[in-house]
Amino acid sequence: MLDAEDAPVLAVEIKGGDVRPEIERRFLEQVTAHGVPYGLLVDRRSIRLFDLKVPGDPPLLELPTEALLASYAHGLDAQEVSGRYLERLTDTWLRNVMQPLASQPPPGLERLRERGVAERLGGGRTVGEFRSYF
């Protein structure tokens, strides 16, 4: 994700299965090497936002994936969600964080505001690489 000045703010990795510790470590190392300040890992269990300026710290935000599913997929069971569908739900959530509706704020918005992340994303845009597997 890019901020309003097109500077990279958030790198996102979405997995259809559970993220193993070595995948998490490798993702965080790669994103840190590119100078992106935040990393977001999403799998069927949780959504974890990391501040990469402070290596080794616990996530700034951790939400159960069910919070997204309850808001955007009418409570669909996390184990039934495909990786592609989880990508779409996460994209929708992030767009709602960038431009929240007053009537229905996205899950975790208050915590993202408290940590200054929502403001960094405001007015920004998503740039996605969606992989297809055939």
Residue 48 falls inside a structural domain: yes
Where do the H-state alpha helices sit in the chain? 21-33, 65-72, 83-98, 109-114, 117-121
Residue 126 falls inside a structural domain: no
Residues 61-97 have pLDDT tens digits of: 999 988 888 888 887 787 788 888 889 999 999 999 9
Residue 131 falls inside a structural domain: no
Q: How far is CA 104 from CA 24, 46, 91, 96, 130, in A?
A: 31, 21, 16, 9, 27
70: helix, strand or coil: helix
Residue 5 falls inside a structural domain: no
CA 45, CA 43: separation in Å to the nearest integer? Answer: 5
- Number of separate domains in the chain: 1
Residue 2 falls inside a structural domain: no
Per-residue pLDDT, 17: 84
Estimate the crossing angle of helix 83-98 against helix 65-72, to 10 degrees. 80
CB 24 within 8 A of CB 52: no
Residue 84 falls inside a structural domain: yes
Residue 95 falls inside a structural domain: yes
Residues 6+ apart with CB under 8 A from 57: 50, 51
For residue 84, how many C-alpha atoms fall within 13 Å in the half-sphere facing its CB? 5
Tens of pLDDT, residue by residue, the chain (134 residues): 999 999 999 999 999 888 889 999 999 999 999 999 999 999 999 999 999 988 888 999 999 988 888 888 887 787 788 888 889 999 999 999 998 888 889 999 999 999 999 999 998 888 876 554 43
Residue 130 falls inside a structural domain: no
CA 31, CA 97: separation in Å to the nearest integer? Answer: 21
Domain of residue 117, residue span: 10-121
Per-residue pLDDT, 119: 93
**pLDDT above 70: percentage of residues in the chain:** 96
